[in-house]
Structure 1
Amino acid sequence: MRPLNFKKYPFRFKSSENSTHIFDIIRKKFVLLQPEEWVRQHTIHFLIEEKKYPKSIINVEKQITVNKLKKRFDIVVFNSDGSIQILVECKSPDIKINQATFDQIAQYNLKLQATYLMVTNGLDHYYCQIDLIKEKYTFLREIPDFSR
């Protein structure tokens, strides 16, 4: 897998029958290593190791229903009250982040109502703060660190 614009993290790998798996520390299992998963695992470690979010408030790849369609979000980080602090959309490094990517995460956020959005392909990272009342967003240089 190609290097990404994250620090280097201590991943665990397992190979079997012509495929490689990476250990997901949130789901506590090995998952097939594909380009988007490579980005997702780096993002998880970034949230935990750089931004200091506890593993216990992070959820990965869960199904939601948006406009009567079943979708899967990549990563959410919860607040202590159960609301969502951060919604993350991960793409393969080969995929350019474009308006369609932002439209996708915005659709998910209509349902999830996160305070912050992060969109990444591992090479480029975008962060936004959402004002749900005014229905607008502001781009940020980074998402906030965890605070109690």
Structure 2
Amino acid sequence: MMQLNLPPYQTRVKEANGRKQIFDILRRKYVTLTPEEWVRQHFIHYLIEHRNYPVALLANEVPLQVGEKKVRADSVLYDNQLRPRMIVEYKAPTIALTQKVFDQISVYNLLLHVDYLVVSNGLETYICKMDYENQTYRFIETIPDYQNI
């Protein structure tokens, strides 16, 4: 897999049914190793190991319903009252982070109304801090530590 602009971690990869799988610590199971999953697992470990995000308050592949359409948010961070605080959308390293990606995460945010929107392809990461009172947002440089959210 491709080298990312995220800290390395001790991956757990195996082969099953002729396919590579990687262990997802949030779902507590092996999942198919795709380029997007490679980014997800590195990003989750970055949040936990370098930004002190509690494992118990993170979830992967969170089901949402937008009208008749069922979708999944890649990762969601919750606070201690289990209110969503951050949505993270991942793309494979070869996928550009275009307006379409931001539109996708914005639709999820219509349902979850979080404080932070994050998109990453493992090479580039963009973080938006929402300001609902002024109906604006601003890009910030780094993912805040959990205690600063």
Q: Same fold (TM over 0.5)?
A: yes
Post-superposition offset of 1:58: 0.3
Post-superposition offset of 1:81: 1.9
Whole-Å separation in 1 of the counterparts to 2:65 and 2:130: 21
**Contact 2:62–2:76 (Cα < 8 Å) also in 1:** no
**Can you list the C-alpha shifts for 1:101-147, whole angstroms capped at 9, x where unaligned?**
00110110010111011100011000010112322110000121011
- The residue type equivalent to 1:92 in the other structure is A
Whole-Å separation in 1 of the counterparts to 2:48 and 2:33: 20
Whole-Å separation in 2 of the counterparts to 1:131 and 1:12: 38
Paired-residue identity, %: 43
Post-superposition offset of 1:83: 1.4
| Aligned-CA RMSD value | 1.1
**Contact 1:53–1:145 (Cα < 8 Å) also in 2:** yes
Size of the alignment, in residue pairs? 148
Residue aligning to 2:143: 143
Residue aligning to 1:92: 92
- Name the SS of the counterpart of 2:37 in structure 1: helix
Post-superposition offset of 1:31: 0.3
Q: How does 1:20-35 map to 2 (within 5 A)?
A: 20-35=20-35
Post-superposition offset of 1:16: 2.1
Whole-Å separation in 1 of the counterparts to 2:41 and 2:9: 9
Whole-Å separation in 2 of the counterparts to 1:31 and 1:147: 30
TM-score normalised over the length of structure 1: 0.96
Ranges of 4+ aligned residues in structure 1 off by more than 6 Å: none
Question: Which structure 1 residue ranges, 5 or more long, are not aligned?
Answer: none
Whole-Å separation in 2 of the counterparts to 1:65 and 1:20: 30
**Contact 1:116–1:143 (Cα < 8 Å) also in 2:** no
**Can you list the C-alpha shifts for 1:43-82, whole angstroms capped at 9, x where unaligned?**
1101101110010000100210123311000001101122
Residue aligning to 2:102: 102
